[in-house]
Amino acid sequence: MDLSGIISIAGMSGIYKVVAQTKNGLIVESLIEKKRMPTYATQRVSALDDISIFTSGDDISLKDVFQKIMDKLSNAPAPDHKSTDDELKTFFTSVLPEYDKERVYVSDIRKVVMWYNILQKNDLLKKEEPASDDSEKTKINIGSDEKTKSYTKPVIKDTISRQNKSAAPKKTQTTRKTGAA
């Protein structure tokens, strides 16, 4: 699950997708209303990648919490964020029983549930597949379905350094001006 480029803005409801960067701030698009708007350097912006939840042990990243919710609910929507406090606490305890009940407030649980539902509605919650180790080889299928030939693309490393080994580096000599005449 990739949460890069998804942010929360303090004082504004919902979450936003970063569209562009300007010299004074960011251009963001609301994931709820699909409207674009500028944010400025004076606004407090938090990337969802950087947010974590307090637990009795080590803190758990928000991405891992979303993954646990998704596994528990089988990719179905979570309860409404406007549910009662007791319902939200019960749900969050069933998902993450080791969360710190003194430092994680009901308002935080509401935000997590609301953000999960927004991301799930926009189809931005997908399980990460383990990266395959085929970065060295690229297979290309050539031919029809009956006769398929496989070609492995060779990997060329350090072509620039091989080309520059034969040429000796140039030494330039300049006179230093000291200002004394």
Per-residue pLDDT tens listing for the chain (181 residues)? 788 889 999 999 899 999 999 988 999 999 999 999 999 989 999 999 999 999 998 999 999 999 999 989 887 888 888 888 899 999 999 999 999 999 999 999 999 999 999 998 888 887 665 555 544 444 444 444 444 444 444 444 444 444 444 555 555 666 666 666 5
Contact present, 3 and 63 (Cβ < 8 Å): yes
DSSP 8-state secondary structure symbol assigned to residue 99: B
The answer to whether residue 167 sits within a structural domain is: no
Cα–Cα distance between 125 and 8 in angstroms, integer? 16
The answer to whether residue 111 sits within a structural domain is: yes
> At which of 73, 102, 121 does a domain end?
121
The answer to whether residue 154 sits within a structural domain is: no
Domain co-membership, 56 together with 44: no
DSSP string, 124-147: ---PPPPPPS-SS--EEEES-SSS
Q: What is the pTM of this model?
A: 0.67
Give 53's strand partners: 60
- Range(s) of the domain holding residue 62: 52-121
> At which of 103, 121, 139 does a domain end?
121
Burial label for 47, CB within 10 Å (0-12, 13-18, 19+), is: middle
Contact present, 105 and 92 (Cβ < 8 Å): no
Domain co-membership, 39 together with 63: no
Give me 76's structure tokens. Answer: 């179905």
Q: From the CB of residue 59, how many other CB atoms can be counted at a distance below 10 Å?
A: 13
For 128-164, the pLDDT digits (tens) are: 655 555 444 444 444 444 444 444 444 444 444 444 4
Burial label for 109, CB within 10 Å (0-12, 13-18, 19+), is: buried
The distance between the two most distant Cα atoms of the chain, rounded to a whole number of Å, is 86
The CATH number linked to 116 is: 1.10.10.1650
